[in-house]
Amino acid sequence: MRANYHDLSRSVASLTENETDEVALMATVACELHHSDDRFDWTGFYRVTSPNVLKIGPYQGGHGCLMIPFSKGVCGAAARTGEVQLVADVDSFDGHIACAATTRSEIVLPVRNATGRLLGVLDIDSNQPDAFTQEDAAGLQLVLHAAFGNDGVWR
């Protein structure tokens, strides 16, 4: 089963209409995404909780890392650079943090609110190598826009 991002973005928009609590939004998005695609082994958020620090937020799947500095790992790179990180083979990513031994590939997107403030990152891991594409990145941006109302510009 593969995610239909157009339908997911509409569903997320409907489920989160008028909700302003960021944790509630993250929990809803993580749940909807995780159950939409067989490639998604771990689906969740790391939240900015202090300068240059991400802490685990709502997620689906096995345990995640509790804290990730902006200076480390794929999630840290997405938060630090503001750019989508698409990693076909986590073993080839210098500084990858192995929260789960089964992770083979990963996609991480910065998450911003409507004013552009970085809230955290959306992290999706797969137990399949090279599981994600640019089409996934574009589709996931639609879903994030539906929930967090950002301007769709990913810096």
| Higher-scoring residue by pLDDT: 153, 132 | 132
CA distance 63 to 150: 28
CATH number of 5-148: 3.30.450.40
Structure tokens, 70? 């902006």
At 4, which amino acid appears? Answer: N
Q: Which residues pair with 120 in a beta bridge?
A: 47, 111
How would residue 96 be classed by pLDDT, with cut points 50, 70 and 90? low
- What rounded mean pLDDT belongs to the chain? 90
Both tokens of 145, joined, read: 């826009």
Helix axes 134-148, 22-34, angle to 10 degrees: 140
Closest listed residue to residue 133, CA positions, set 92, 96, 102, 88: 88
Mean pLDDT to the nearest integer, 19-31: 95
Whole-number pLDDT of residue 152: 38
Rounded to two decimals, what is the model's pTM?
0.92
The stretch 25-32 carries a mean pLDDT of 96
Nearest 5°: the CA angle 18, 19, 21 is 150
pLDDT band at 93 (very low <50, low <70, confident <90, very high): confident
Give the start-to-end residue ranges of the domains of the chain.
Answer: 5-148
For the cut 90, the answer to whether the pLDDT of residue 61 exceeds it is yes
Give CA–CA dist 76/68, Å, rounded.
Answer: 6
